[in-house]
């Protein structure tokens, strides 16, 4: 197991280097130093200010030297200073992680539990009117864009019923909950249709296996078979789906955080793109790649833990 983990981490090194090189080429290599300086200090800024920025950032150096500097700083998680807020990028991310995790983790857990329960119930009553009705609802939910859920909750639940704030976020101890209940609810509902359909398909395939027929023939109750056998043996597909969503828990939900004005990682990235805040965007790309590589490595490890027949070789 340890050898496999080390090998996967070594595989990740060239991928990360590739991401860093591609990011540098897109944001720095294809743009002139004057253009970058104009974005950073403003197009109407004095030429002296632009020249000072170019010298400070080393944009007057040869591209290979600039690339080496960028890679070295990025590997040490030194992302520099935001062009717009003039704050350290690492500090911006550190402050954004808290609000993001406050929304994404409860929403993710609630959504997965609801999808599992829904899928297991559908398999239990498969081919019935209830199963077909739930399937129809899931397909309808998959067809509705996230922004529709957001607008509906803001317009009806927040503004008309006045249950929760339509936007905004403040750290107020237990009172912070009123700012995140709606985003968490939307987070749980958005993927419920897709996850429910996916889990149902996985469980239906497992139900057709011989071990399930044997257990049912021995008189084991259907609910026990589903919970103890089908759920466990369908864990490989579930791991692939669930672990693949982990990076989004850190990077945040772009639409939800933007509409609700929550200062999380998603909102930070959206604002950085809108404002042309290059250091923040470049750091987000690198951190996103790092998180996805971590998720893939974790997936392989969990595969082996869930199914002893899988050997990490």
pLDDT at 37: 87
Q: Give the end of a domain, one of 75, 108, 139.
A: 75
81 - beta bridge partners? Answer: 88
Same structural domain for residues 64 and 138? no
Sign of CA dihedral 283, 289, 290, 292: positive
Task: Say whether both 203 and 58 belong to one domain.
Answer: no
Q: In terms of residue numbers, what domain contains 270?
A: 99-275
pLDDT reported for residue 129: 92
* Residue 229 to residues 128, 211, 218, 234, Cα–Cα distance (Å): 22, 9, 14, 8
Q: How far is Cα 247 from Cα 266, in angstroms, rounded to an integer?
A: 12
Per-residue pLDDT at 240: 74
Query: Which helix (H) or strand (E) is 150 found in, with range?
Result: helix 146-152
The pLDDT value recorded for residue 310 is: 59
Q: Identify the CATH number of the domain in which residue 233 sits.
A: 1.10.3720.10
Assigned domain for 10 exists: yes
In a domain, 172, yes or no: yes
Shared domain check, 256 and 127: yes
Residue 212 lies in a domain: yes
Q: Is residue 121 part of a domain?
A: yes
Angle (CA) 123 125 126, round 5°: 60
- The one-digit pLDDT tens for each residue of the chain (313 residues) are 667 677 777 878 888 889 899 988 888 878 888 888 888 888 888 888 888 888 888 888 888 898 998 888 888 888 888 888 888 998 888 888 888 888 888 988 898 889 888 988 888 888 899 999 999 998 998 888 888 989 998 888 888 888 888 888 888 888 888 888 999 999 888 888 888 888 888 888 877 778 777 887 877 777 777 777 777 777 777 777 777 777 777 666 788 888 888 888 888 888 888 888 889 999 988 888 888 888 877 777 777 666 666 555 5
Cα distance between residue 183 and residue 67, in whole Å: 40
Number of compact structural domains in the chain: 2
Residues 6 and 112 occupy one common structural domain: no
Residue 133 resides in a domain? yes
């Amino acid at each position: 197991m340890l050898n496999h983990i080390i090998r996967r981490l070594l595989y990740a090194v060239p991928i990360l280097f590739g991401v860093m090189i591609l990011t540098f080429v897109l944001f720095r290599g294809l743009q002139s130093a004057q253009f970058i300086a104009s974005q950073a200090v403003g197009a109407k800024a004095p030429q002296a200010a632009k020249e000072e920025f170019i010298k400070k950032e080393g944009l007057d150096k040869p591209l290979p030297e600039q690339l080496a500097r960028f890679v070295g700083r990025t590997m040490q998680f030194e992302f520099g200073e935001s062009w717009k807020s003039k704050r350290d990028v690492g500090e911006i991310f550190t402050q954004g992680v808290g609000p993001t995790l406050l929304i994404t983790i409860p929403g993710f857990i609630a959504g997965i539990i609801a999808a599992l329960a829904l899928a297991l119930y559908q398999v239990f009553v498969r081919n019935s009117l209830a199963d077909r009705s739930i399937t129809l609802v899931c397909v309808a939910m998959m067809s509705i864009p996230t922004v529709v859920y957001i607008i509906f909750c803001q317009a009806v639940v927040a503004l008309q019923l006045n249950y929760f704030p339509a936007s905004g976020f403040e750290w107020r101890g237990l009172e912070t909950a009123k700012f995140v209940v709606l985003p968490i609810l939307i987070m749980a509902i958005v993927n419920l249709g897709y996850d429910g359909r996916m889990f149902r398909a996985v469980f239906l395939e497992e139900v057709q296996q011989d071990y399930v027929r044997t257990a049912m023939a021995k008189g084991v109750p259907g609910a026990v078979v589903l919970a103890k056998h089908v759920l466990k043996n369908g864990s490989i597909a579930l791991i692939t789906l669930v672990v693949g969503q982990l990076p989004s828990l850190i990077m945040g939900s772009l639409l939800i955080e933007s509409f609700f004005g929550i200062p999380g990682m998603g909102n930070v990235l959206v604002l950085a793109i809108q404002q042309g805040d290059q250091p923040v965007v470049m750091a987000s790309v690198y951190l996103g790649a790092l998180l996805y590589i971590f998720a893939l490595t974790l997936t392989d490890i969990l595969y082996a833990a869930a199914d002893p027949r899988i050997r990490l070789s």
